[in-house]
Structure 1
Amino acid sequence: MELPIDYMTLRVIWWLLMGVLLIGFAIMDGYALGTLATLPFVAKTDEERRAVINTVSATWEGNQVWLILGGGAIFAAWPFVYAVSFSGFYLAMFLVLSALILRPVGFKYRSKRPGKAWRNNWDWALFVGGFVPALVFGVAVGNVLQGAPFSLDSDLRITYHDQFLGGLLGLFSPFTVLCGLTSVAMLLLQGATWVSLKIEKGALRDRAITYGVYAALAVIVLFALGGVYLAYGGLGFKVVGDIAADGPSNPRNAEVVKEAGAWLLNYGKYPWMIAAPVLGFVGALLALLGLKIKADPWAFIGSSIGVLGIIGSVGVSMFPIILPSTVDARSSLLVWTASSSHTTLFIMLGVTLVFLPIVLLYTAWVYKVLFGRIEVKALKTNPDLY
């Protein structure tokens, strides 16, 4: 049976949807990660820390949906990507999940006892739950850009090479650390703009704004350094030869070679793609301006635009490559060679068109209901607050 959408178009649609889910997670759960990463520094007293925690306590669980959907989309739409990345970066993912587990545990146990040491320890646990995922996610993106040491044999079995301590320490290099710091700064900005939007006016909000200004400046500088590194640091991959964009999925049907500066070739081939890095800088500048003049909604919107632009820049720079191999040119994973079947992508697209709007509408309704600032005095009168 001939499907109404051709295979090539479906692959591009699912590449875009994967980007949407990753950006959605970075924006929606990113402010929770960034908020917790600033917790020990922005809030000075126990009441202030409780107030900061309660800016995210009502919404963080729902925001996890974006992470689950992203993982599910990779599993269903890009099975080769899922198999290679989840097996090769297993310890890094375990580290992220361990840190994320600290978040709900910290929320529930922090106020169970009144002792200062008890609460301070849980505050630092919440900090780890915000900072570590932000850092590791950025490091992971850096490793995708510099390539992973894997190969696929003729039966498509995966082999990883040069994996020191299970690949965990091997993930860290000067460039990947730069990407990790960019991710941390980006989510700290997202968290600071969220706190300034949700906390009542006063000293606590002012401190969040101050940290947000520093984070915005760091985003601009680090993102620019990342671009310079891609241009002159010897990184980059490109596809060699012709590939049937509507052909069967087999990673070994394409060849990818390493070439310095190749990640920037798409901007000459498709000039409209320059919009992604421009949005990264414009969003950070808008957030910086919004924080300076205390226009909280505009600061948060600007930060979110910056997230969209920074993550979008990675996607458009790499297209059509998803994960290049540094040890075997024919094992690299591409949009055209690593997807599920034509029928599978079509059926999943139909399901997505039904359920994704429901998720978006429900999320919008939740935020409408929970709209408003957290007041410190409410911590003493509202039993629903942590």
Structure 2
Amino acid sequence: MHIALDYAGLRVIWWALMGVLLIGFALTDGWDLGIGTLLPFVARTDTERRMAINCAGPTWEGNQVWFVLGGGAIFAAWPLVYAVSFSGFYLAMFLVLAALILRPVGFKYRSKRPDPVWRSAWDWALFVGGVVPSLVFGVAVGNVLQGLPFHFDSDLRVLYDGSFLGLFTPFTLLCGVLSVSMMALHGSAYLTVKLEHGPVHDRARTIGTGAAALCMLLFVIGGMVALWGPLGYDITGPVVTDGASNPLRLTAIPSSGAWTRNFIMHPWMYAAPVLGVGGAASALVGMWLRQEIMTLAGSSAATVGIVSTVGLSMFPFILPSSTDIHSSLTVWNASSSRSTLLTMLVATLVFLPIILLYTSWVYRVLWGRVTVASMASNPDLY
């Protein structure tokens, strides 16, 4: 497929780049969140907990770069999306940030004192810093799929009509639990690769088996809801792909099953949900066979497939409105100017490869299994 660098082409490129950044965050920081979520369950002694923590310890700070890049890209490339999402998800974002703050503090402070109560408190802080963002991110995606209650006035001021508790519905909670199970699977897969064989390794494999099965089940149920449930929106009026961003010109209607239509029109898109289910199944088999690389590759494929499925199913919608469909944000009506997108693209083409190379180098240098012996002999470990 040829994509030109005209305004429409740049919008598609930045829609794809936004997906790449979100996938990068889910892949790298995903196993950090997963390890935090699993910490109370895979490790029982202080040494075991230190082993699990130090699997993520050397790289968690660098992994958060993807989160910052994703937020920055949304702010610069999709300012209307940024405005609406931070209005509608304000309390949810605050909850996520508060939980994420616990993680660096927990890493740095946990081993400062030998007091078991002190360390246990920070272990639970790390658990909260893992499970809360995982859950809220999934709930947020569920709300995006079903539409957010917002609208624009004639001056393009965004008005949010919902509430914090309104974000939690059966479907969005399903998406939230799916997100937690996906991160738990990814975290357990990473633990099996990074830990020496022993009790923590075995518990991670056991829990990962359940997480893989739950991830597959919830992803399939979510797909069935998208296929037969009251989800989806269709654009009914003319589409201007290269005009100035103005959501008030959109003409659309709610349409059950619309989120599956792209897959029918473009069969190659089926690769995403197949990768989501197949990756989780591969991780499950890898757990059973004790094939650690296969397990991590499967959990990574499942993460890529699940995140990609959401983006591909909704295109060209980014944030549909459930209360005023004409205020919905799409790839064609919510972006920055052409010059801004082009300038940012040039900067991305320069700096993103540097980030990828540096990240690869860091993982290569810091690779190796965490062992019981290293906990006693290496003073640099948490």
Name the TM-score class by shorter chain. over 0.9
How far 1:119 sits from its partner (Å)? 1.3
User: CA separation in 1, counterparts of 2:171 and 2:261?
Assistant: 19
Gaps of 5+ in 1: none
Counterparts of 1:54-133 in structure 2, within 5 Å, are: 54-133=54-133
Distance, in Å, in 2 between the alignment partners of 1:44 and 1:6 is 57
Q: Which amino acid aligns with 2:68?
A: I
In the TM superposition, 1:187-198 aligns within 5 A as 187-198=183-194
**Residues of 1 paired with 2:268 and 2:154: CA distance?**
38
Residue 332 (structure 2) aligns with: 336
1:214 to 190, 203, 210: 210
Quote the Cα distance in structure 1 between the aligned partners of 2:325 and 2:87: 19
C-alpha distance in structure 1 between counterparts of 2:251 and 2:74, whole Å:
22
Quote the Cα distance in structure 2 between the aligned partners of 1:284 and 1:316. Answer: 19
1:348: how far off? 0.5
Alignment equivalent of 1:370, drawn from 363, 366, 370: 366
Determine the C-alpha separation between the residues in 2 that align with 1:137 and 1:369: 31
Offset at residue 256 of structure 1 (A): 2.3
Q: Deviations over 1:151-170 (max 9, x none)?
A: 00121011111x3xxx2211
User: How far apart, CA to CA, are the structure 2 residues paired with 1:280 and 1:359?
Assistant: 26
8 Å CA contact retained: 1:255, 1:332: no
Q: Structure 1 residue 271: deviation in Å?
A: 1.2
Q: Distance in 2 between matches of 1:35 and 1:255?
A: 45
Deviating above 2 A after TM superposition, structure 1's stretches of 4 or more consecutive aligned residues are none
**Of 349, 359, 371, the match for 1:353:** 349
The 2-side partners of 1:108 and 1:361 are apart by 27
Please show how residues 240-259 of structure 1 align to structure 2 within 5 Å: 240-259=236-255
Question: Deviation digits for residues 162-211 of structure 1, max 9, x if unmatched?
Answer: x3xxx221110000000000000000000000000000011210110001
What's the counterpart of residue 14 of structure 2?
A: 14
Q: Which residue matches 1:27? A: 27
Normalised TM-score (structure 2): 0.98
Q: Distance in 2 between matches of 1:370 and 1:294?
A: 23
Does residue 1:382 correspond to 2:374, yes or no? no
1:51, 1:376 within 8 Å by CA — same for their partners in 2?
yes
Superimposed CA distance per residue, residues 67-108 of structure 1 (whole angstroms, 9 cap, x where no aligned partner) = 000000000000100011012211000000000001011111
Structure 2 CA distance for aligned equivalents of residues 100 and 228 of structure 1: 32
Equivalent of 1:228 in 209, 213, 224: 224
**How far apart, in 2, do the equivalents of 1:317 and 1:133 lie?**
23
Inter-partner Cα distance in structure 1 for 2:59 and 2:264: 41
The answer to whether residue 147 in structure 2 is matched with residue 147 in structure 1 is yes
- 1:322 correspondence with 2:318: yes
Greater Cα offset, 65-74 or 322-331: 322-331
Which residue pairs with 2:273 in the alignment?
277
CA distance in 2, matches of 1:97, 1:265: 35
The CA distance in 2 between the partners of 1:114 and 1:368, in whole Å, is 32
The alignment of Structure 1 onto Structure 2 pairs a total of residues equal to: 379
Post-superposition CA distance 1:289-338 (Å, at most 9, x none): 11111111121111011000001000000000000011112100000010
Counterparts of 1:132 and 1:256, CA distance in 2: 34
Identity of aligned residues (%): 60
Question: What is the RMSD of the two structures over their aligned residues, measured on CA atoms?
Answer: 0.9
Partner amino acid, structure 1, of 2:194: K
Is residue 294 of structure 2 the alignment partner of residue 298 of structure 1? yes
Matching residue's letter, 2:113:
R
Greater mean deviation of Cα atoms: 116-125 or 97-106: 116-125
Deviations 1:333-384 (A, max 9, x none): 0000100111110111000000000000000000000111001111111010
Contact 1:186 1:219 in 2 (8 A): yes
* 2:259 counterpart (256, 260, 263): 263
Q: Following the alignment from structure 2 to structure 1, what is the Cα–Cα distance between the partners of residues 239 and 246? A: 11
Distance 1:346 1:180 in 2: 35
Residues 185-243 of structure 1 show CA distances to partners (whole Å, capped at 9, x for unaligned) of 00000000000000001121011000100000000000001011112221111111221
Q: Distance in 2 between matches of 1:49 and 1:188?
A: 16
Give the structure-1-normalised TM-score.
0.97
